Structure 1
Amino acid sequence: MVKILVTNDDGIHSKGIKAAVEALQGLGDVYVVAPMFQRSASGRAMTIHRPLRAKRVKMEGTKAAYALDGMPVDCVIFAMARFGKFDLAISGINLGENMSTEITVSGTASAAIEAATQEIPSIAISLEVSREKHKLGEGDEIEFSAAKYFLKKVATAVLENGLPKGVDMLNVNVPCDANEKTEIAFTRLAKRMYKPSIEERIDPKGNPYYWIVGTQCPKEELEPGTDMYAVKVERKVSVTPINIDMTAKVDLDELRRALKL
Protein backbone atom coordinates (compact mmCIF):
# COMPACT_ATOMS: atom_id res chain seq x y z
CA MET A 1 0.00 0.00 0.00
CA VAL A 2 1.21 3.50 -0.82
CA LYS A 3 2.40 5.42 2.27
CA ILE A 4 1.98 9.19 2.35
CA LEU A 5 3.44 11.53 4.97
CA VAL A 6 1.71 14.84 5.70
CA THR A 7 3.33 17.59 7.73
CA ASN A 8 3.30 21.40 7.89
CA ASP A 9 4.67 24.42 9.74
CA ASP A 10 1.33 25.90 10.84
CA GLY A 11 0.87 23.24 13.51
CA ILE A 12 -1.23 20.15 14.10
CA HIS A 13 -4.39 22.21 14.72
CA SER A 14 -4.30 24.03 11.38
CA LYS A 15 -7.30 23.50 9.15
CA GLY A 16 -4.84 23.33 6.26
CA ILE A 17 -3.34 20.03 7.37
CA LYS A 18 -6.79 18.54 7.84
CA ALA A 19 -7.69 19.73 4.34
CA ALA A 20 -4.55 18.03 2.98
CA VAL A 21 -5.51 14.74 4.65
CA GLU A 22 -8.99 14.99 3.14
CA ALA A 23 -7.57 15.68 -0.32
CA LEU A 24 -5.33 12.59 -0.17
CA GLN A 25 -8.04 10.09 0.70
CA GLY A 26 -8.00 7.14 -1.66
CA LEU A 27 -4.39 7.65 -2.75
CA GLY A 28 -2.81 5.59 0.04
CA ASP A 29 -2.32 5.26 3.78
CA VAL A 30 -1.88 8.75 5.25
CA TYR A 31 0.36 9.43 8.25
CA VAL A 32 0.59 12.84 9.90
CA VAL A 33 3.45 14.22 11.98
CA ALA A 34 3.22 17.97 12.54
CA PRO A 35 4.46 20.54 15.05
CA MET A 36 2.43 21.07 18.21
CA PHE A 37 2.71 24.82 17.70
CA GLN A 38 3.02 27.42 14.94
CA ARG A 39 6.49 27.12 13.37
CA SER A 40 6.32 29.43 10.36
CA ALA A 41 9.62 30.78 9.02
CA SER A 42 11.60 28.08 10.83
CA GLY A 43 13.44 27.05 7.66
CA ARG A 44 15.55 23.92 8.05
CA ALA A 45 16.00 24.36 11.79
CA MET A 46 16.45 21.09 13.68
CA THR A 47 16.06 20.42 17.41
CA ILE A 48 19.36 19.00 18.68
CA HIS A 49 19.88 20.69 22.06
CA ARG A 50 16.95 19.15 23.91
CA PRO A 51 14.79 16.03 23.70
CA LEU A 52 11.65 15.98 21.57
CA ARG A 53 8.20 15.20 22.95
CA ALA A 54 5.56 13.52 20.81
CA LYS A 55 1.86 13.08 21.48
CA ARG A 56 -0.39 10.79 19.50
CA VAL A 57 -3.57 12.53 18.39
CA LYS A 58 -6.79 11.45 16.72
CA MET A 59 -7.20 12.69 13.15
CA GLU A 60 -9.82 11.29 10.85
CA GLY A 61 -8.53 9.79 7.62
CA THR A 62 -5.08 8.85 8.95
CA LYS A 63 -3.36 5.60 9.89
CA ALA A 64 -1.59 7.50 12.67
CA ALA A 65 -1.05 11.13 13.67
CA TYR A 66 1.45 12.72 16.04
CA ALA A 67 2.04 16.22 17.34
CA LEU A 68 5.73 16.93 17.90
CA ASP A 69 7.12 19.78 20.00
CA GLY A 70 9.76 20.50 17.40
CA MET A 71 10.29 21.93 13.96
CA PRO A 72 8.89 20.77 10.60
CA VAL A 73 12.22 19.14 9.71
CA ASP A 74 12.10 17.26 13.03
CA CYS A 75 8.67 15.96 12.04
CA VAL A 76 9.99 14.37 8.86
CA ILE A 77 12.89 12.74 10.70
CA PHE A 78 10.56 11.46 13.44
CA ALA A 79 8.08 10.10 10.90
CA MET A 80 10.73 8.11 9.06
CA ALA A 81 12.15 6.71 12.30
CA ARG A 82 8.68 5.69 13.47
CA PHE A 83 7.03 4.53 10.24
CA GLY A 84 9.84 3.84 7.76
CA LYS A 85 10.11 4.98 4.14
CA PHE A 86 7.28 6.88 2.46
CA ASP A 87 6.24 6.93 -1.17
CA LEU A 88 5.24 10.61 -1.07
CA ALA A 89 5.60 13.50 1.35
CA ILE A 90 3.22 16.48 1.46
CA SER A 91 3.93 19.65 3.42
CA GLY A 92 0.88 21.93 3.78
CA ILE A 93 -1.65 23.12 2.97
CA ASN A 94 0.11 26.23 4.25
CA LEU A 95 -1.74 29.41 5.20
CA GLY A 96 -0.03 32.01 3.04
CA GLU A 97 1.97 31.64 -0.14
CA ASN A 98 5.59 30.40 -0.16
CA MET A 99 7.33 31.69 -3.27
CA SER A 100 10.66 32.93 -4.59
CA THR A 101 14.09 31.94 -3.33
CA GLU A 102 12.76 32.77 0.13
CA ILE A 103 11.30 29.25 0.30
CA THR A 104 14.53 28.43 2.16
CA VAL A 105 13.03 30.39 5.08
CA SER A 106 9.74 28.52 4.93
CA GLY A 107 9.16 25.66 7.34
CA THR A 108 6.64 24.28 4.87
CA ALA A 109 9.09 24.11 1.98
CA SER A 110 11.93 23.01 4.24
CA ALA A 111 9.98 19.98 5.47
CA ALA A 112 9.48 18.93 1.84
CA ILE A 113 13.17 19.57 1.15
CA GLU A 114 14.11 17.37 4.11
CA ALA A 115 11.93 14.56 2.78
CA ALA A 116 13.50 15.03 -0.66
CA THR A 117 16.98 14.57 0.84
CA GLN A 118 15.69 11.18 2.03
CA GLU A 119 14.79 10.37 -1.61
CA ILE A 120 11.05 10.76 -1.03
CA PRO A 121 9.16 12.56 -3.83
CA SER A 122 7.80 15.66 -2.13
CA ILE A 123 5.27 18.42 -2.60
CA ALA A 124 5.06 21.67 -0.65
CA ILE A 125 1.68 23.33 -1.16
CA SER A 126 0.61 26.78 0.00
CA LEU A 127 -2.57 28.80 -0.33
CA GLU A 128 -2.46 32.55 -0.84
CA VAL A 129 -4.52 34.34 1.81
CA SER A 130 -6.20 37.66 1.29
CA ARG A 131 -5.65 39.00 4.80
CA GLU A 132 -2.32 39.11 6.64
CA LYS A 133 -3.85 37.98 9.96
CA HIS A 134 -4.76 34.60 8.44
CA LYS A 135 -1.11 33.68 7.84
CA LEU A 136 -0.48 32.90 11.51
CA GLY A 137 -3.93 31.59 12.38
CA GLU A 138 -5.47 28.14 12.14
CA GLY A 139 -7.49 28.77 8.99
CA ASP A 140 -10.98 28.92 10.47
CA GLU A 141 -12.22 31.38 7.82
CA ILE A 142 -10.27 29.98 4.86
CA GLU A 143 -11.81 28.08 1.94
CA PHE A 144 -9.54 25.18 0.99
CA SER A 145 -11.56 23.53 -1.79
CA ALA A 146 -9.38 24.73 -4.69
CA ALA A 147 -6.13 23.93 -2.86
CA LYS A 148 -7.46 20.44 -2.07
CA TYR A 149 -8.37 19.92 -5.71
CA PHE A 150 -4.91 20.87 -6.99
CA LEU A 151 -3.13 18.93 -4.24
CA LYS A 152 -4.95 15.75 -5.21
CA LYS A 153 -4.32 16.42 -8.92
CA VAL A 154 -0.56 16.96 -8.46
CA ALA A 155 -0.13 14.19 -5.86
CA THR A 156 -1.90 11.69 -8.13
CA ALA A 157 0.36 12.66 -11.04
CA VAL A 158 3.52 12.26 -8.95
CA LEU A 159 2.44 8.88 -7.57
CA GLU A 160 1.56 7.62 -11.04
CA ASN A 161 4.47 9.08 -13.01
CA GLY A 162 7.17 9.97 -10.48
CA LEU A 163 9.22 13.15 -10.68
CA PRO A 164 11.44 13.79 -13.71
CA LYS A 165 15.17 13.31 -13.34
CA GLY A 166 16.70 16.36 -11.70
CA VAL A 167 13.52 17.31 -9.84
CA ASP A 168 13.43 16.49 -6.12
CA MET A 169 10.27 18.29 -5.06
CA LEU A 170 7.49 20.52 -6.34
CA ASN A 171 6.58 23.83 -4.77
CA VAL A 172 2.91 24.59 -5.43
CA ASN A 173 1.12 27.89 -4.74
CA VAL A 174 -2.61 28.35 -5.18
CA PRO A 175 -4.22 31.82 -5.54
CA CYS A 176 -6.92 32.62 -2.97
CA ASP A 177 -9.51 33.07 -5.74
CA ALA A 178 -8.64 29.85 -7.58
CA ASN A 179 -11.19 27.25 -8.64
CA GLU A 180 -11.01 23.93 -10.47
CA LYS A 181 -10.77 25.71 -13.83
CA THR A 182 -7.76 27.83 -12.82
CA GLU A 183 -4.77 27.22 -15.09
CA ILE A 184 -1.51 25.68 -13.90
CA ALA A 185 1.73 27.48 -14.76
CA PHE A 186 5.09 25.71 -14.53
CA THR A 187 7.46 28.32 -13.19
CA ARG A 188 10.86 29.19 -11.82
CA LEU A 189 11.48 30.84 -8.46
CA ALA A 190 11.31 34.63 -8.33
CA LYS A 191 14.32 36.35 -6.83
CA ARG A 192 12.57 37.81 -3.78
CA MET A 193 9.08 37.91 -2.36
CA TYR A 194 9.59 40.51 0.36
CA LYS A 195 11.77 43.52 0.98
CA PRO A 196 12.62 43.05 4.67
CA SER A 197 13.47 45.72 7.17
CA ILE A 198 13.52 46.29 10.93
CA GLU A 199 10.81 48.20 12.77
CA GLU A 200 11.79 49.68 16.14
CA ARG A 201 9.23 50.10 18.90
CA ILE A 202 9.42 51.19 22.50
CA ASP A 203 8.15 49.09 25.40
CA PRO A 204 6.32 50.60 28.45
CA LYS A 205 9.63 50.96 30.28
CA GLY A 206 11.18 52.99 27.49
CA ASN A 207 13.39 50.21 26.09
CA PRO A 208 13.53 49.60 22.34
CA TYR A 209 12.54 46.29 20.78
CA TYR A 210 12.48 45.23 17.17
CA TRP A 211 10.28 43.40 14.65
CA ILE A 212 11.45 42.08 11.32
CA VAL A 213 8.85 43.32 8.84
CA GLY A 214 8.61 43.22 5.08
CA THR A 215 6.69 44.65 2.16
CA GLN A 216 5.87 42.44 -0.79
CA CYS A 217 7.63 43.27 -4.04
CA PRO A 218 5.30 45.34 -6.26
CA LYS A 219 3.67 43.59 -9.21
CA GLU A 220 5.44 45.80 -11.75
CA GLU A 221 8.80 44.37 -10.59
CA LEU A 222 7.77 40.73 -11.08
CA GLU A 223 9.31 38.75 -13.94
CA PRO A 224 7.13 36.70 -16.31
CA GLY A 225 7.79 33.00 -15.89
CA THR A 226 8.29 33.19 -12.15
CA ASP A 227 6.07 31.75 -9.44
CA MET A 228 5.18 35.20 -8.13
CA TYR A 229 4.19 36.47 -11.57
CA ALA A 230 1.96 33.44 -12.13
CA VAL A 231 0.13 33.81 -8.80
CA LYS A 232 0.09 37.58 -8.31
CA VAL A 233 -0.37 38.79 -11.90
CA GLU A 234 -1.80 35.92 -13.95
CA ARG A 235 -3.80 34.42 -11.06
CA LYS A 236 -2.62 30.92 -11.96
CA VAL A 237 -1.53 28.00 -9.80
CA SER A 238 2.27 27.91 -9.87
CA VAL A 239 4.15 24.61 -9.87
CA THR A 240 7.89 25.08 -9.45
CA PRO A 241 10.36 22.18 -9.77
CA ILE A 242 13.04 22.25 -7.08
CA ASN A 243 16.43 20.54 -7.10
CA ILE A 244 18.08 20.32 -3.69
CA ASP A 245 21.58 20.35 -5.22
CA MET A 246 22.28 24.07 -5.01
CA THR A 247 25.65 23.82 -6.74
CA ALA A 248 25.91 26.55 -9.36
CA LYS A 249 25.90 25.14 -12.91
CA VAL A 250 29.26 26.56 -13.94
CA ASP A 251 32.46 25.13 -15.32
CA LEU A 252 34.60 24.52 -12.21
CA ASP A 253 37.87 25.00 -14.06
CA GLU A 254 36.58 28.33 -15.36
CA LEU A 255 35.65 29.27 -11.79
CA ARG A 256 39.16 28.44 -10.61
CA ARG A 257 40.64 30.65 -13.35
CA ALA A 258 38.23 33.48 -12.58
CA LEU A 259 39.10 33.45 -8.89
CA LYS A 260 42.81 32.86 -9.60
CA LEU A 261 43.01 30.16 -6.95
Structure 2
Amino acid sequence: MSNGEGEGRPLVLVSNDDGPESPGLRALLEALNDGRVDVTFIVPEGPRSSSGMSLTFHKPLRAWEREISGVRGYVVSGSPADCVMLGRLRLLDRTPCAVASGINIGDNTGLQDIYASGTVAAALQAALLGIPSSAFSMMVERDGIMAGEREMLEGFAEASRYAAEATRWICEHGLPEGVHLLNVNFPLRIAEPATVELTRPVRRKYENNVVERMDPRGFPYYWVWGRRLGGYSEGTDAWAVYTRGAVSVTPLNIDLASPGSPGMDDLRARLESVGRAKD
Protein backbone atom coordinates (compact mmCIF):
# COMPACT_ATOMS: atom_id res chain seq x y z
CA MET A 1 0.00 0.00 0.00
CA SER A 2 1.31 3.45 -0.89
CA ASN A 3 0.65 5.75 2.06
CA GLY A 4 0.64 9.43 1.25
CA GLU A 5 1.64 11.57 -1.70
CA GLY A 6 4.75 13.35 -0.47
CA GLU A 7 7.87 12.09 -2.17
CA GLY A 8 10.47 11.31 0.48
CA ARG A 9 8.31 12.35 3.44
CA PRO A 10 8.53 10.16 6.56
CA LEU A 11 5.60 7.86 7.31
CA VAL A 12 3.74 7.75 10.63
CA LEU A 13 1.65 4.69 11.50
CA VAL A 14 -1.28 5.30 13.83
CA SER A 15 -2.93 2.48 15.78
CA ASN A 16 -5.19 2.17 18.81
CA ASP A 17 -7.24 -0.24 20.90
CA ASP A 18 -10.61 1.52 20.59
CA GLY A 19 -11.27 0.69 16.95
CA PRO A 20 -12.02 2.80 13.87
CA GLU A 21 -14.92 4.79 15.35
CA SER A 22 -12.87 6.29 18.18
CA PRO A 23 -12.98 10.11 18.40
CA GLY A 24 -9.42 10.04 19.74
CA LEU A 25 -8.21 8.24 16.62
CA ARG A 26 -9.94 10.73 14.32
CA ALA A 27 -8.52 13.70 16.20
CA LEU A 28 -4.98 12.30 16.02
CA LEU A 29 -5.24 11.51 12.30
CA GLU A 30 -6.51 15.01 11.56
CA ALA A 31 -3.72 16.63 13.58
CA LEU A 32 -0.99 14.57 11.90
CA ASN A 33 -2.36 14.90 8.37
CA ASP A 34 -1.03 18.40 7.72
CA GLY A 35 1.40 17.67 4.87
CA ARG A 36 4.57 17.47 6.96
CA VAL A 37 4.51 13.65 7.25
CA ASP A 38 2.66 10.87 5.47
CA VAL A 39 0.06 9.21 7.66
CA THR A 40 -1.69 5.87 7.65
CA PHE A 41 -3.50 3.77 10.26
CA ILE A 42 -3.97 0.12 11.14
CA VAL A 43 -6.51 -0.42 13.90
CA PRO A 44 -8.61 -3.30 15.28
CA GLU A 45 -12.10 -3.68 13.86
CA GLY A 46 -13.63 -3.03 17.29
CA PRO A 47 -12.68 -2.13 20.87
CA ARG A 48 -9.78 -4.17 22.26
CA SER A 49 -9.25 -2.37 25.55
CA SER A 50 -7.13 -4.17 28.16
CA SER A 51 -5.98 -6.70 25.54
CA GLY A 52 -2.34 -6.10 26.42
CA MET A 53 0.25 -7.70 24.15
CA SER A 54 -2.03 -10.49 22.94
CA LEU A 55 -1.27 -11.87 19.48
CA THR A 56 -3.56 -13.95 17.29
CA PHE A 57 -2.01 -17.35 16.54
CA HIS A 58 -5.09 -19.61 16.57
CA LYS A 59 -6.96 -18.19 13.57
CA PRO A 60 -6.21 -16.16 10.42
CA LEU A 61 -6.34 -12.37 10.43
CA ARG A 62 -8.28 -10.27 7.93
CA ALA A 63 -7.52 -6.70 6.86
CA TRP A 64 -9.81 -4.26 5.06
CA GLU A 65 -8.84 -0.93 3.53
CA ARG A 66 -10.72 2.06 4.84
CA GLU A 67 -10.59 5.85 4.87
CA ILE A 68 -10.97 7.84 8.10
CA SER A 69 -10.77 11.65 8.25
CA GLY A 70 -9.17 11.77 4.81
CA VAL A 71 -6.48 9.20 5.67
CA ARG A 72 -6.34 5.76 4.08
CA GLY A 73 -5.41 2.74 6.17
CA TYR A 74 -6.57 -0.66 7.35
CA VAL A 75 -8.98 -2.21 9.82
CA VAL A 76 -7.81 -5.61 11.12
CA SER A 77 -9.64 -8.49 12.81
CA GLY A 78 -7.05 -8.74 15.58
CA SER A 79 -5.44 -7.03 18.53
CA PRO A 80 -3.49 -3.74 18.59
CA ALA A 81 -0.23 -5.71 18.67
CA ASP A 82 -1.42 -7.70 15.64
CA CYS A 83 -2.10 -4.44 13.80
CA VAL A 84 1.43 -3.13 14.25
CA MET A 85 3.02 -6.45 13.34
CA LEU A 86 0.93 -6.75 10.16
CA GLY A 87 1.81 -3.21 9.23
CA ARG A 88 5.54 -3.57 9.69
CA LEU A 89 5.90 -7.05 8.16
CA ARG A 90 3.23 -7.13 5.46
CA LEU A 91 0.85 -4.23 4.79
CA LEU A 92 3.13 -1.18 4.59
CA ASP A 93 5.52 -0.46 1.73
CA ARG A 94 8.10 1.22 4.02
CA THR A 95 9.11 1.38 7.64
CA PRO A 96 7.40 4.14 9.64
CA CYS A 97 9.55 6.74 11.34
CA ALA A 98 7.25 6.41 14.34
CA VAL A 99 4.17 4.59 15.58
CA ALA A 100 1.59 6.69 17.42
CA SER A 101 -1.04 4.74 19.35
CA GLY A 102 -4.24 6.41 20.52
CA ILE A 103 -5.57 8.76 21.56
CA ASN A 104 -7.10 6.31 24.02
CA ILE A 105 -10.49 6.93 25.61
CA GLY A 106 -9.29 7.04 29.22
CA ASP A 107 -5.86 7.58 30.71
CA ASN A 108 -3.27 4.81 30.97
CA THR A 109 -1.36 5.97 34.03
CA GLY A 110 0.24 3.50 36.40
CA LEU A 111 1.74 0.06 35.93
CA GLN A 112 -1.64 -1.65 36.31
CA ASP A 113 -2.88 0.21 33.23
CA ILE A 114 0.39 0.07 31.31
CA TYR A 115 0.71 -3.72 31.46
CA ALA A 116 -2.95 -4.27 30.53
CA SER A 117 -3.43 -1.52 27.94
CA GLY A 118 -3.88 -2.38 24.27
CA THR A 119 -2.95 1.22 23.48
CA VAL A 120 0.43 0.83 25.16
CA ALA A 121 0.79 -2.66 23.64
CA ALA A 122 0.67 -1.27 20.10
CA ALA A 123 3.53 1.09 20.95
CA LEU A 124 5.38 -1.71 22.72
CA GLN A 125 5.07 -4.00 19.70
CA ALA A 126 6.48 -1.22 17.55
CA ALA A 127 9.42 -0.80 19.94
CA LEU A 128 10.10 -4.55 19.80
CA LEU A 129 10.20 -4.23 16.00
CA GLY A 130 12.71 -1.40 16.25
CA ILE A 131 10.35 1.51 15.60
CA PRO A 132 10.31 4.42 18.08
CA SER A 133 6.79 4.80 19.36
CA SER A 134 4.43 6.51 21.73
CA ALA A 135 1.11 5.72 23.39
CA PHE A 136 -1.31 8.61 23.89
CA SER A 137 -4.25 8.49 26.30
CA MET A 138 -6.64 11.07 27.76
CA MET A 139 -8.63 11.01 30.99
CA VAL A 140 -12.34 11.26 30.20
CA GLU A 141 -13.83 11.85 33.63
CA ARG A 142 -14.16 14.66 36.10
CA ASP A 143 -14.62 13.82 39.80
CA GLY A 144 -15.45 10.24 38.86
CA ILE A 145 -18.15 11.25 36.36
CA MET A 146 -17.76 10.61 32.62
CA ALA A 147 -17.37 13.79 30.59
CA GLY A 148 -20.06 14.77 28.12
CA GLU A 149 -19.55 14.20 24.41
CA ARG A 150 -18.82 17.83 23.59
CA GLU A 151 -16.25 18.23 26.36
CA MET A 152 -14.61 14.95 25.37
CA LEU A 153 -14.36 15.95 21.70
CA GLU A 154 -12.86 19.31 22.66
CA GLY A 155 -10.38 17.51 24.90
CA PHE A 156 -9.31 15.16 22.12
CA ALA A 157 -8.88 18.10 19.73
CA GLU A 158 -6.57 19.81 22.24
CA ALA A 159 -4.62 16.67 23.12
CA SER A 160 -4.12 15.75 19.45
CA ARG A 161 -2.05 18.90 18.84
CA TYR A 162 0.43 17.82 21.50
CA ALA A 163 0.38 14.17 20.38
CA ALA A 164 1.08 15.17 16.78
CA GLU A 165 3.96 17.43 17.81
CA ALA A 166 5.50 14.69 19.97
CA THR A 167 5.23 12.27 17.05
CA ARG A 168 6.91 14.68 14.64
CA TRP A 169 9.69 15.21 17.17
CA ILE A 170 10.25 11.46 17.35
CA CYS A 171 10.42 11.30 13.54
CA GLU A 172 12.99 14.08 13.51
CA HIS A 173 15.15 13.03 16.46
CA GLY A 174 14.30 9.46 17.41
CA LEU A 175 14.21 8.64 21.11
CA PRO A 176 17.06 9.15 23.59
CA GLU A 177 19.36 6.25 24.33
CA GLY A 178 17.73 3.79 26.70
CA VAL A 179 14.19 4.98 25.87
CA HIS A 180 12.17 2.73 23.55
CA LEU A 181 8.71 4.25 23.81
CA LEU A 182 6.81 7.05 25.50
CA ASN A 183 3.61 6.75 27.49
CA VAL A 184 1.87 10.13 27.29
CA ASN A 185 -1.26 10.94 29.27
CA PHE A 186 -3.43 14.05 28.98
CA PRO A 187 -5.88 15.60 31.44
CA LEU A 188 -9.41 16.12 30.17
CA ARG A 189 -8.62 19.78 29.49
CA ILE A 190 -5.09 21.12 29.06
CA ALA A 191 -4.45 24.47 30.72
CA GLU A 192 -2.70 27.15 28.68
CA PRO A 193 0.20 27.53 28.97
CA ALA A 194 0.48 23.78 29.30
CA THR A 195 2.49 22.13 32.05
CA VAL A 196 4.37 19.02 30.94
CA GLU A 197 5.80 16.68 33.58
CA LEU A 198 8.44 14.00 32.91
CA THR A 199 7.19 11.21 35.14
CA ARG A 200 7.55 7.62 36.29
CA PRO A 201 4.61 5.17 36.48
CA VAL A 202 2.80 4.91 39.77
CA ARG A 203 2.88 1.28 40.92
CA ARG A 204 -0.69 0.99 42.22
CA LYS A 205 -3.55 3.05 40.88
CA TYR A 206 -6.48 0.75 41.69
CA GLU A 207 -7.74 -1.28 44.60
CA ASN A 208 -8.65 -4.47 42.75
CA ASN A 209 -11.83 -6.38 43.51
CA VAL A 210 -13.70 -9.42 42.19
CA VAL A 211 -17.47 -9.56 42.66
CA GLU A 212 -19.22 -12.94 42.59
CA ARG A 213 -22.85 -13.16 41.47
CA MET A 214 -25.22 -15.92 40.48
CA ASP A 215 -26.79 -16.33 37.05
CA PRO A 216 -30.49 -17.36 36.66
CA ARG A 217 -29.46 -21.04 36.52
CA GLY A 218 -27.64 -20.89 39.83
CA PHE A 219 -24.07 -20.84 38.48
CA PRO A 220 -21.57 -18.23 39.72
CA TYR A 221 -20.04 -15.57 37.51
CA TYR A 222 -17.53 -12.85 38.31
CA TRP A 223 -16.91 -9.17 37.61
CA VAL A 224 -13.33 -7.93 37.86
CA TRP A 225 -13.08 -4.23 38.66
CA GLY A 226 -10.92 -1.71 40.43
CA ARG A 227 -11.62 1.41 42.49
CA ARG A 228 -9.20 4.20 41.69
CA LEU A 229 -6.99 5.22 44.58
CA GLY A 230 -5.95 8.80 45.34
CA GLY A 231 -3.01 10.63 46.84
CA TYR A 232 -0.45 9.58 44.25
CA SER A 233 3.26 10.13 44.90
CA GLU A 234 4.80 13.29 43.50
CA GLY A 235 6.63 12.68 40.24
CA THR A 236 4.36 9.86 39.08
CA ASP A 237 2.16 9.87 35.99
CA ALA A 238 -1.14 9.69 37.92
CA TRP A 239 0.00 12.56 40.17
CA ALA A 240 0.77 14.69 37.11
CA VAL A 241 -2.59 14.09 35.41
CA TYR A 242 -4.98 13.88 38.37
CA THR A 243 -3.37 16.21 40.88
CA ARG A 244 -1.50 18.71 38.72
CA GLY A 245 -3.74 18.70 35.63
CA ALA A 246 -0.54 18.40 33.61
CA VAL A 247 0.50 16.42 30.56
CA SER A 248 2.47 13.37 31.72
CA VAL A 249 5.32 12.04 29.57
CA THR A 250 6.77 8.75 30.84
CA PRO A 251 9.83 7.33 29.05
CA LEU A 252 9.74 3.51 29.04
CA ASN A 253 12.35 0.84 28.38
CA ILE A 254 11.44 -2.62 27.10
CA ASP A 255 14.40 -4.32 28.81
CA LEU A 256 12.77 -5.69 31.95
CA ALA A 257 15.71 -7.81 33.12
CA SER A 258 17.57 -6.94 36.30
CA PRO A 259 20.26 -9.65 36.54
CA GLY A 260 22.50 -7.72 38.94
CA SER A 261 19.91 -7.44 41.68
CA PRO A 262 21.20 -8.19 45.20
CA GLY A 263 20.34 -11.69 46.40
CA MET A 264 20.29 -13.34 42.98
CA ASP A 265 23.69 -14.97 43.47
CA ASP A 266 22.19 -16.96 46.33
CA LEU A 267 19.42 -18.27 44.04
CA ARG A 268 21.93 -19.15 41.33
CA ALA A 269 23.99 -21.15 43.83
CA ARG A 270 20.86 -22.92 45.07
CA LEU A 271 19.86 -23.95 41.55
CA GLU A 272 23.38 -25.07 40.67
CA SER A 273 23.35 -27.30 43.77
CA VAL A 274 20.30 -29.10 42.37
CA GLY A 275 22.37 -30.21 39.38
CA ARG A 276 25.25 -31.36 41.58
CA ALA A 277 22.87 -33.33 43.80
CA LYS A 278 21.85 -35.47 40.79
CA ASP A 279 25.47 -36.54 40.35
Return the alpha-carbon distance in structure 2 between the equivalents of residues 25 and 197 of structure 1: 42
> 1:21-49 CA deviation, whole Å, 9 max, x = no partner?
01112331111100001100000000000
- How far residue 101 of structure 1 moved from its aligned partner, in angstroms, is 1.3
Give 3-state SS (helix, strand or coil) of 2:172's partner.
Answer: helix
Report the equivalent of 1:199. 211
**Change in 2 beyond 3 A, CA 1:208/1:13:** same
Return the alpha-carbon distance in structure 2 between the equivalents of residues 133 and 36 of structure 1: 28
Report the equivalent of 1:228. 238
Contact 1:113 1:169 in 2 (8 A): yes
Report the equivalent of 1:23. 31
1:165 to 174, 177, 180: 177
Bigger CA radius of gyration: 2
> 1:73-97 CA deviation, whole Å, 9 max, x = no partner?
0000111121131111000000000
**Change in 2 beyond 3 A, CA 1:70/1:2:** same
Report the equivalent of 1:244. 254
Q: Which runs of 5+ in 1 are unaligned?
A: none
Report the equivalent of 1:36. 45
Aligned-residue sequence identity (percent) comes to: 38
Report the equivalent of 2:64. 55
Match for 2:179: what amino acid?
A: V
Give 3-state SS (helix, strand or coil) of 1:163's partner.
Answer: coil
Return the alpha-carbon distance in structure 1 between the equivalents of residues 262 and 200 of structure 2: 27
Report the equivalent of 1:216. 228
Give 3-state SS (helix, strand or coil) of 1:231's partner.
Answer: helix
Give 3-state SS (helix, strand or coil) of 1:201's partner.
Answer: strand
Contact 2:195 2:247 in 1 (8 A): yes
**Change in 2 beyond 3 A, CA 1:139/1:92:** farther
Return the alpha-carbon distance in structure 2 between the equivalents of residues 118 and 145 of structure 1: 30
Give 3-state SS (helix, strand or coil) of 2:213's partner.
Answer: strand
Return the alpha-carbon distance in structure 1 between the equivalents of residues 180 and 251 of structure 2: 7
Q: Which runs of 5+ in 2 are unaligned?
A: 1-8, 271-279
- How far residue 58 of structure 1 moved from its aligned partner, in angstroms, is 1.7
Report the equivalent of 1:256. 265
- How far residue 127 of structure 1 moved from its aligned partner, in angstroms, is 0.5
Return the alpha-carbon distance in structure 1 between the equivalents of residues 48 and 153 of structure 2: 19
Give 3-state SS (helix, strand or coil) of 1:48's partner.
Answer: coil
Match for 2:47: what amino acid?
A: Q
Give 3-state SS (helix, strand or coil) of 1:78's partner.
Answer: helix
Return the alpha-carbon distance in structure 2 between the equivalents of residues 39 and 253 of structure 1: 39
Match for 1:201: what amino acid?
A: R
Return the alpha-carbon distance in structure 1 between the equivalents of residues 141 and 31 of structure 2: 22
Contact 1:16 1:139 in 2 (8 A): no
Return the alpha-carbon distance in structure 1 between the equivalents of residues 200 and 152 of structure 2: 30
Report the RMSD for the aligned CA atoms in angstroms: 2.3
Return the alpha-carbon distance in structure 1 between the equivalents of residues 162 and 46 of structure 2: 26
Deviates more, 1:172-181 or 1:207-216: 172-181
Q: TM-score, normalised by structure 1?
A: 0.91
Contact 1:33 1:75 in 2 (8 A): yes
Match for 1:110: what amino acid?
A: A
Match for 1:32: what amino acid?
A: F
Give 3-state SS (helix, strand or coil) of 1:191's partner.
Answer: coil
Give 3-state SS (helix, strand or coil) of 1:58's partner.
Answer: strand
Return the alpha-carbon distance in structure 2 between the equivalents of residues 156 and 109 of structure 1: 19
Q: Is residue 130 from structure 1 mapped to residue 141 from structure 2 by the alignment? A: yes
Report the equivalent of 2:55. 46
Q: TM-score, normalised by structure 2?
A: 0.85
Return the alpha-carbon distance in structure 1 between the equivalents of residues 60 and 166 of structure 2: 36
> 1:164-215 CA deviation, whole Å, 9 max, x = no partner?
0000000000001214422000001110221211112222333321110100
**Change in 2 beyond 3 A, CA 1:120/1:202:** same
Contact 1:194 1:216 in 2 (8 A): yes
Give 3-state SS (helix, strand or coil) of 1:205's partner.
Answer: coil
